[in-house]
């Protein structure tokens, strides 16, 4: 029995122009979320100078947002299905805008991090509610195109956030980033309120709160533990407790999702190679591209001494291919299989990462342009296909979960990847500094990772600046080689798994329903079916 999606609609504008304006509203949300992430990466040195903060507190300025954004996406999708997609979209977008205004006037790093965490929740509600609403506004091929357009706008916000932020910080100061977010939110709110239809899933049976809480706590414990480890040591009791708790909570989440009637995440889908391939494709840009959107501006501004505009100009080489390549990749599908395009793109990105790792700190900036473009080209090829592929391998009976799974894989992957990569870079730098830095090597490495070269030098006044730069440079190069190897392995797996063209959405829906029926004991299934 094939699952049929049913929705209750209220509203008044279902014309083509009305649907297009709904798409514009959702695209505003799709741009603001990644801009709030990558824009702050460029502004971190300026924020540090103005409101201060330790390395961990500054890392949380980035990670608090991406953590709550990624961990609450699936719950937000379920809320949208239950209480109405338009309501969740508008509420999330309004909260995001109000919190952006609050961040403009924040002068304490702790409050800044807290507001950033709450801002991530608002972004999740807006993004999940908007995508779920789009699934009701469009159907068939137009739905795939609409989702691809949203994905492209998400990519624009992610890739060109550093460029826009660099110009705004230099000319207006770092609060200007949040001013731009408020403007985009205003456009999305007006269009969404007027043209978006109210819709919900009448079969929704409430929120999987146990799953939502366990998943959020697991990601929080993992991220906190990974961020704390470079400063306290991996054998520190707090770090050990956090990482152990993360493992136990992920196990608990898996057990919960196998027993509830309406899980946030249908784990039986992971039996299908194409579904697994789509999730790997969602995660791959996190460590092959997104981490560079944070690490490279920090390197250019904090370590190499560029100003924000110069750093933004350098980042154009990495970002520019995303303006053209996603569209070109869509055209290439007439002759090439999506699996081949995605696999080849990730392989090209792996080559670019290795190439970039050959240039130490202090190299001629012009020499970095070619490898940065290569990475951008590699990620640009699968970027425009990812959202469409995700829709094609996910069941459609619940629009919120259908869009939430892929978005969660992508966003949560970015948060975890950034925390892990920052920790690994800190370890590599600390190892390179070694005995020359003595006891403070770990603290020095932490400061270098956040681009605070003056403070790092102050911690070891006996160490020459050139030695600090050499330790950072060697660690950065080693990190890029590691990322290159991981990306190449992912390219091979994605090519093989997405190539399983015999699996269709209907196959997955039918087998998933059969698996769900056998996974829940008859007595529990009877209880779950009761109102």
For the segment 185-225, what is each residue's pLDDT rounded down to a tens digit?
999 999 999 888 877 766 666 677 888 888 888 888 888 88
**CA end-to-end span of the chain:** 22
Please tell me which residue, 439 or 236, carries the higher pLDDT value: 236
Reported in sequence order, the residue ranges of 151-275 that DSSP labels E, i.e. its strands, are 198-200
Name the nearest CA neighbour of 422 among 526, 286, 251, 279: 286
Please tell me which residue, 514 or 376, carries the higher pLDDT value: 376
- Is-contact 50 376, C-beta < 8 A? no
- Is-contact 217 71, C-beta < 8 A? no
Whole-number pLDDT of residue 474: 94
Please tell me which residue, 177 or 152, carries the higher pLDDT value: 177
Reduced 3-state DSSP string for 347-391: HHHHHHHHHHCCCCCCCCHHHHHHHHHHHHHHHHHHHHHHHHHHH
256-280 pLDDT, tens per residue? 888 877 777 777 777 778 778 888 8
**DSSP character for 333?**
T
Judged against a pLDDT cut of 60, whether residue 513 lies above it is answered with: no
Residues with Cβ within 8 Å of 100's Cβ and at least 6 positions away in sequence, in order, are 36, 119, 178, 181, 182, 185
- Is-contact 50 108, C-beta < 8 A? no
Please tell me which residue, 37 or 399, carries the higher pLDDT value: 37
Whole-number pLDDT of residue 12: 45
> 358's torsion region: left (phi>0), alpha (psi -120 to 50) or beta?
alpha
Dist CA 182 CA 32 (whole Å)? 9
Whole-number pLDDT of residue 512: 43
Whole-number pLDDT of residue 296: 92
Of the ranges 36-50, 128-142, 307-321, 462-476, which is most confident?
462-476
Dist CA 419 CA 30 (whole Å)? 23
| C-alpha pair distances (Å), 266 with each of 401, 402, 445, 480 | 9, 10, 41, 34
> Would you call 200 helix, strand, or coil by DSSP?
strand
> Would you call 484 helix, strand, or coil by DSSP?
helix
Name the nearest CA neighbour of 30 among 346, 365, 320, 411: 411
Whole-number pLDDT of residue 181: 92
**DSSP character for 513?**
H
- Is-contact 165 43, C-beta < 8 A? yes
Whole-number pLDDT of residue 436: 64
- Is-contact 211 256, C-beta < 8 A? yes
Q: Angle 55-71/16-51 helices, nearest 10 degrees?
A: 160
**DSSP character for 197?**
P
Tokens found for residue 260: 């509830």
- Is-contact 377 250, C-beta < 8 A? no
459-497 pLDDT, tens per residue? 888 888 888 999 999 999 999 999 999 999 999 999 998
Residues with Cβ within 8 Å of 349's Cβ and at least 6 positions away in sequence, in order, are 288, 289, 374, 375, 377, 378, 379, 487, 491
Instruction: Give the sign of the dihedral formed by CA 227, CA 233, CA 238, CA 243.
Output: positive
Please tell me which residue, 438 or 119, carries the higher pLDDT value: 119
Backbone angles phi, psi at 70, to 5 degrees: -70, -35
- Residue indicated by tokens 């079916």: 529
Binning pLDDT at 50, 70 and 90, where does residue 97 land? very high
* pLDDT above 70: percentage of residues in the chain: 85
Binning pLDDT at 50, 70 and 90, where does residue 394 land? low
12-43 pLDDT, tens per residue? 445 767 788 888 999 888 888 888 887 887 78
Whole-number pLDDT of residue 322: 82
Whole-number pLDDT of residue 157: 79
Judged against a pLDDT cut of 50, whether residue 4 lies above it is answered with: no
Radius of gyration for the chain, computed over Cα atoms and rounded to the nearest angstrom: 23
Residues with Cβ within 8 Å of 335's Cβ and at least 6 positions away in sequence, in order, are none
The mean pLDDT of the chain is: 81
> Would you call 106 helix, strand, or coil by DSSP?
coil
Q: Residue 10 is inside which H or E element, if any?
A: strand 8-10
52-69 pLDDT, tens per residue? 877 778 888 888 888 888
* Domains of the chain in sequence order: 14-529 (1.20.1250.20)
Name the nearest CA neighbour of 418 among 118, 410, 278: 410
328-372 pLDDT, tens per residue? 887 888 888 888 999 999 999 999 999 999 999 999 999 999 999
- Is-contact 150 131, C-beta < 8 A? yes
Whole-number pLDDT of residue 373: 96
């Amino acid at each position: 029995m094939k699952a049929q999606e049913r929705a209750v609609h209220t509203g008044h504008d279902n014309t083509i122009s009305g649907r297009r304006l709904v798409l514009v509203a959702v695209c505003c949300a799709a741009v603001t979320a990644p801009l709030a992430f990558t824009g702050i990466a460029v502004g971190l040195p300026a924020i540090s100078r103005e409101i201060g903060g330790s390395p961990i507190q500054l890392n949380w300025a980035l990670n608090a947002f991406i953590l709550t954004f990624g961990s609450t996406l699936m719950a937000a999708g379920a809320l949208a299905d239950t209480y109405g997609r338009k309501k969740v979209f508008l509420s999330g977008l309004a909260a995001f805008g109000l919190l952006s205004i609050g961040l403009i006037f924040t002068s304490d790093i702790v409050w800044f991090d807290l507001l950033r965490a709450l801002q991530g929740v608002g972004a999740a509600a807006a993004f999940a509610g908007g995508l779920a609403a789009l699934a009701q506004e469009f159907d068939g091929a137009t739905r795939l195109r609409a989702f691809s357009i949203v994905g492209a706008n998400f990519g624009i916000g992610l890739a060109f956030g550093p460029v826009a932020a660099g110009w705004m910080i230099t000319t207006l100061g770092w609060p200007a980033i949040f001013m731009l977010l408020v403007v985009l939110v205003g456009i999305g709110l007006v269009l969404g309120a007027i043209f978006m239809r109210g819709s919900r899933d009448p079969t929704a049976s409430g929120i999987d709160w146990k799953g939502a809480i366990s998943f959020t706590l697991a990601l929080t414990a993992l991220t906190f533990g990974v961020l704390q480890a470079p400063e306290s040591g991996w054998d520190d009791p707090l770090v050990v407790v956090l990482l152990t708790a993360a493992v136990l909570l992920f196990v608990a989440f898996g057990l919960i999702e196998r027993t509830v009637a309406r899980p946030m995440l249908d784990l039986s889908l992971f039996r299908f190679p194409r579904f697994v391939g789509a999730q790997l494709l969602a995660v791959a840009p996190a460590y092959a591209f997104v981490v560079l959107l944070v690490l490279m501006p920090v390197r250019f501004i904090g370590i190499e001494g560029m100003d924000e505009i110069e750093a933004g100009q350098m980042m154009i080489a990495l970002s520019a291919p995303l303006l053209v390549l996603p569209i070109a990749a869509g055209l290439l599908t007439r002759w090439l299989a999506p699996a081949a395009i995605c696999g080849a793109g990730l392989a090209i990105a792996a080559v670019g990462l290795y190439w970039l790792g050959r240039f130490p700190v202090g190299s001629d900036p012009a020499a970095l342009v070619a490898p940065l473009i290569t990475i951008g080209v590699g990620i640009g090829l699968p970027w425009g296909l990812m959202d469409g592929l995700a829709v094609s391998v996910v069941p459609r009976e619940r629009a919120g979960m259908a869009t939430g799974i892929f978005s969660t894989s992508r966003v949560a992957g970015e948060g975890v990847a950034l925390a892990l990569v920052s920790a690994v870079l800190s370890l590599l730098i600390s190892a390179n500094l070694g005995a020359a830095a003595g006891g403070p090597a770990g603290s020095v490495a932490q400061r270098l990772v956040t681009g605070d070269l003056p403070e790092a030098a102050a911690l070891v006044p006996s160490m020459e600046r050139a030695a600090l730069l050499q330790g950072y440079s060697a660690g950065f190069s080693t990190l890029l080689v590691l990322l290159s190897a991981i990306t190449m392995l992912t390219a091979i797996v994605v090519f093989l798994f997405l190539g399983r063209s015999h699996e269709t959405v209907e196959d997955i829906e039918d087998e998933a329903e059969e698996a769900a029926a056998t996974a829940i004991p008859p007595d529990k299934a009877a209880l779950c079916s009761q109102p």
